[in-house]
Chains A and B, each alone.
Chain A
Amino acid sequence: MPYLDEYAGAWTTTQARHLLKRTTFGPSAQMVDTSVSLGLQGTIDTLFAPLPMPDPPLKSIPDGTGNNQLNDPGAMYGETWVNAVPFPNINPPMLRNRVLRSRSKSLYSWTVLQMHYSDISIREKLTLFWHNHFVVADGTIAHREYLYYTLLRRFATGNFKELTKEITIDTGMLFYLSGAENTNNAPNENYSRELLELFTVGKGDLAAPGDYTNFTEDDVIQMAKVLTGWRVPPVSNQNTLTAQFVNGNHTPGSKQLSHRFNNAVISENGDQEFRDLIDVIFQQDECSRFIMRKLYRWFVHYDISDDIEMNVIEPLAAILRNNNYEIAPALQVLMKSEHFYNATACMIKSPMDLMMSVTRGLGIQPPQGDLEDEYDHAYNHYIMSTDLEQALFYHPDVAGWKAYYQKPQFDKLWINNLLLPKRHEFCRLMVEGGIFSYNDVNYRVTSLVPVLEIVKNIPDANDPNVLVSSLAEIMFNYPITENQLTSLKDVLIPGLPDFEWTVEYLDYLSDPSNQALAESVENKLKSLFSVMVRMSEFQIM
Chain B
Amino acid sequence: MNKVKINRRDFLKTSALASIPLTLSGIPLFATANPNSSFINGVNDKILVLVQLQGGNDGLATIFDSRQYANLQAVRNNIIVPESSIINFHNEYGFHSAMQGMKDVWEMESLGIVQNVGYPNQNRSHFRSTDIWNSASGAEEFISTGWIGRFYDLNYSDYPNGYPNADNPHPFALTMGKIVSETCQGVNANYSLSLLDPFNPGTALVSAEGDIPANCFGDALSFVNDTVAQTNAFASVISEAADAGNNLSAKWDNLDTELAKKLKNVARLISGGLQTKIYIVQLGGFDTHDNQVVDGETTTGLHSELLKELSDAICAFQDDLNLLSVSERVVGMTYSEFGRRIRSNGALGTDHGTAAPLFLFGSCIKNQVLGDHPEIDTQVGIDEGVPMQYDFRDIYGTILKDWLGLEENNVLNVLYPDFQALPLFKESCLMVNTTTHNLLQDPEINVYPNPTVDKVQISYFSKDHQSTVRVFDSAGGFLMSTSVYGSNMSQHQLMIDLSTYKPGSYFIHVRNRDFSKTKKVVKI
Cβ-defined contact, B475 with A209, below 8 A: yes
Residues of B within 8 A of A406 (CB): 182
**With contacts A186-B345, A217-B383, A344-B215 known, is A418 near B193, CB below 8 A?**
yes
Cβ-defined contact, B210 with A481, below 8 A: yes
- Residue on A nearest B347 in the bound complex, by CB: A181
Residues of A within 8 A of B125 (CB): 193, 197, 203
Cβ-defined contact, A415 with B124, below 8 A: no
Residues of B within 8 A of A465 (CB): none
Residues of A within 8 A of B290 (CB): 178, 181, 188, 190
Ranked nearest first, the 7 interchain pairs of A and B with the lowest CB-CB distance are A186-B346, A209-B477, A421-B202, A487-B208, A181-B347, A418-B194, A536-B224
Cβ-defined contact, B351 with A417, below 8 A: no
**For the complex, what is the distance from the CA of A83 to the CA of B234, rounded to whole Å?**
52
Residues of B within 8 A of A539 (CB): 220, 224
Residues of B within 8 A of A346 (CB): 215-217, 219-220
**With contacts A188-B289, A534-B207 known, is A209 near B121, CB below 8 A?**
yes
A187 within 8 A of B: yes
- How would residues 392 to 426 of chain A score, 1 for a CB under 8 Å from any chain B CB and 0 otherwise? 00001101001001111101110111111110100
**For the complex, what is the distance from the CA of A487 to the CA of B210, rounded to whole Å?**
11
Cβ-defined contact, B124 with A301, below 8 A: no
Of the candidates A190, A209, A409, A536, which one forms a contact with B185 in the assembled complex, judged by CB atoms under 8 Å apart? A409
Other 20 A-B pairs with CB < 8 A, given A416-B180, A420-B228? A178-B290, A186-B347, A187-B345, A188-B290, A205-B140, A208-B477, A344-B217, A346-B216, A389-B178, A396-B284, A405-B127, A409-B185, A417-B202, A418-B193, A418-B194, A421-B204, A421-B231, A487-B208, A535-B207, A536-B209
Cβ-defined contact, B127 with A188, below 8 A: no
- Residue on A nearest B180 in the bound complex, by CB: A416
**For the complex, what is the distance from the CA of A344 to the CA of B2, rounded to whole Å?**
13
B479 within 8 A of A: yes
Interface centre among B139, B210, B347 (most CB of A within 10 A): B210
- How would residues 338 to 354 of chain B score, 1 for a CB under 8 Å from any chain A CB and 0 otherwise? 00000001110101100
Cβ-defined contact, B346 with A417, below 8 A: no
A310 within 8 A of B: no
CB distance from B388 to the nearest CB of A (A): 13
A355 within 8 A of B: no
19 residue pairs from A and B, CB less than 8 Å apart:
A181-B349, A187-B346, A190-B290, A303-B1, A344-B217, A348-B223, A409-B190, A415-B227, A416-B178, A417-B193, A417-B194, A417-B231, A420-B202, A424-B204, A424-B205, A481-B211, A486-B208, A488-B208, A535-B207
A514 within 8 A of B: no
A254 within 8 A of B: no
Cβ-defined contact, B207 with A418, below 8 A: no
A75 within 8 A of B: no
- Residue on B nearest A191 in the bound complex, by CB: B289
**For the complex, what is the distance from the CA of A388 to the CA of B140, rounded to whole Å?**
34
- How would residues 218 to 246 of chain B score, 1 for a CB under 8 Å from any chain A CB and 0 otherwise? 01110111011011001100000000000
- Residue on A nearest B473 in the bound complex, by CB: A209
**For the complex, what is the distance from the CA of A181 to the CA of B144, rounded to whole Å?**
36
**With contacts A190-B289, A417-B234, A421-B231 known, is A480 near B210, CB below 8 A?**
yes
Cβ-defined contact, A178 with B231, below 8 A: no
**For the complex, what is the distance from the CA of A240 to the CA of B215, rounded to whole Å?**
52
- Residue on B nearest A476 in the bound complex, by CB: B210
Q: How large is the interface on B (under 10, 10 to 19, 20 to 34, 35 or more residues)?
A: 35 or more
**For the complex, what is the distance from the CA of A230 to the CA of B289, rounded to whole Å?**
16
A117 within 8 A of B: no
Cβ-defined contact, B179 with A190, below 8 A: no
Of the candidates B202, B219, B351, which one forms a contact with A190 in the assembled complex, judged by CB atoms under 8 Å apart? B351
**For the complex, what is the distance from the CA of A480 to the CA of B182, rounded to whole Å?**
33
Cβ-defined contact, A418 with B223, below 8 A: no
Cβ-defined contact, A412 with B220, below 8 A: yes
Cβ-defined contact, B139 with A206, below 8 A: yes
**For the complex, what is the distance from the CA of A203 to the CA of B352, rounded to whole Å?**
16
Cβ-defined contact, A408 with B227, below 8 A: no
**With contacts A188-B290, A416-B194, A418-B195 known, is A301 near B207, CB below 8 A?**
no
- How would residues 78 to 93 of chain A score, 1 for a CB under 8 Å from any chain B CB and 0 otherwise? 0000000000000000
CB distance from A21 to the nearest CB of B (A): 14
Of the candidates B54, B196, B217, B220, which one forms a contact with A418 in the assembled complex, judged by CB atoms under 8 Å apart? B196
A124 within 8 A of B: no
Cβ-defined contact, B230 with A417, below 8 A: yes
CB distance from A308 to the nearest CB of B (A): 11
